[in-house]
Structure 1
Amino acid sequence: MENNPIREIPVPLLLNQILHAQTYWVMQCMKEVDLKPGQAGCLFILSKEGRLPQKEIAKKLGVKPPSITALLKKLEARGLIVRSSDEQDQRVSWITLSDEGRRYIRRIKDAMKEMEGTMFRDILPEERLLFRRLLLQIRENLMTKEAMESCKIHMKQECMSDLDEEI
């Protein structure tokens, strides 16, 4: 039997290569719309949630409130979000997408759809469904409480604050 070099590549290495290629595509997409990934994440959260207080956006993005302030100022200066004060509590800032922000979401979704089309070119729909099911199962297998506890041993404590909340 002839050796197939593709079969000799360990699956974790293949997944790592795919992740890097996908990250490259996402970064190219972000360049096209002149956004950083955190800014795009903020716009997607707002497109899903509608209107949120600034503090809640920071929590959903996993960043500290001062970091979200700078990000939101940039998005507001570009006309992608609208900030308004709460009528009962002036300390609370509500954030919503502007019409321009909604147009950006559409552009990003179109680019992601193009990337997905490239990813799954020459792959049958049933193979795509099987691939998705397998990825979900692999994720579930790796994200057990025991596995996450084991990872803590090898990771620096300051990197674990988000994991601690989930476990």
Structure 2
Amino acid sequence: MPTPTLDLYSLPGHDIRRLHQIAVALFMQETEPFGVTPVQYAALQAVQNAPGIDQRTLARTIGFDTSTIAGVIDRLEARGLMQRSASAQDRRVRLLTLTAAGQQLVENVVPAMLRAQERILDPLPASERGEFMRMLAVLVSSRQEPDRGEV
């Protein structure tokens, strides 16, 4: 039996992947002067929101793989934006805080990041944006695993 012809744009996974590409491109356009990626921004913001968070919890919080988050932190640390310190309770656990430069970067990048978010939603009528965000939250939260933040 021949494989059916499918319209890629009728598949939610395809459109979600394309929307992700668009969202990253818009984020990078708006935040270019700051040299920060969406994942780096998420890590910086999460640490600013919870100073002293450990690497595993950070990974879970931003829905990132625990084995890969170390590289993200390495790059932020090399730029002098984030620092690791050993936990007093467990020397194997690394606690994260932002440096003064990291705090300043987050403060400076927020307006550009918010412009990117607005540009992502611009094609939707203002009256439908809340509903889109509600449905998006349902899709994301229903697929989260406790260990990784995702399936």
Taking structure 1 as the reference length, the TM-score comes to 0.61
Contact 2:87 2:93 in 1 (8 A): yes
Distance 2:130 2:26 in 1: 23
Distance 2:141 2:121 in 1: 29
CA distance change for structure 1 residues 142 and 96 in 2, over 3 Å: closer, same or farther?
A: closer
Query: Between Structure 1 and Structure 2, whose CA radius of gyration is higher?
Result: 1
Q: Which amino acid in structure 1 is aligned with residue 88 of structure 2?
A: E
Contact 1:30 1:37 in 2 (8 A): no
Q: Over residues 43-71 of structure 1, what are the superposed CA-to-partner deviations in whole Å (9 max), with x where a residue is unaligned?
A: 01112222201121122233333322222
Distance 1:62 1:111 in 2: 22
* 1:66 to 2:67 alignment: yes
Partner of 1:83: 84
User: Aligned pairs, how many?
Assistant: 135
Q: Over residues 14-54 of structure 1, what are the superposed CA-to-partner deviations in whole Å (9 max), with x where a residue is unaligned?
A: 99887654432202234321122221111011122222011
Contact 2:59 2:65 in 1 (8 A): yes
Structure 1 residue runs of 5 or longer lacking an equivalent are 1-9, 149-160
Structure with the larger helix share: 1
1:91 Cα deviation (Å)?
0.9
Q: Which amino acid in structure 1 is aligned with residue 104 of structure 2?
A: R
Q: Which amino acid in structure 2 is aligned with residue 83 of structure 1?
A: R
1:110 Cα deviation (Å)?
1.2
Distance 2:141 2:69 in 1: 31
**Counterpart secondary structure, 2:111:** helix
> 1:13-52, aligned counterparts within 5 Å?
21-52=22-53
CA distance change for structure 1 residues 79 and 143 in 2, over 3 Å: closer, same or farther?
A: closer
* 1:133 to 2:130 alignment: yes
Structure 2 residue runs of 5 or longer lacking an equivalent are 1-9, 144-148
Partner of 2:150: 162
CA distance change for structure 1 residues 43 and 134 in 2, over 3 Å: closer, same or farther?
A: same
CA distance change for structure 1 residues 131 and 70 in 2, over 3 Å: closer, same or farther?
A: same
Partner of 2:115: 114
CA distance change for structure 1 residues 39 and 137 in 2, over 3 Å: closer, same or farther?
A: closer
Give the RMSD, CA atoms, in angstroms.
3.6
Identity of aligned residues (%): 22
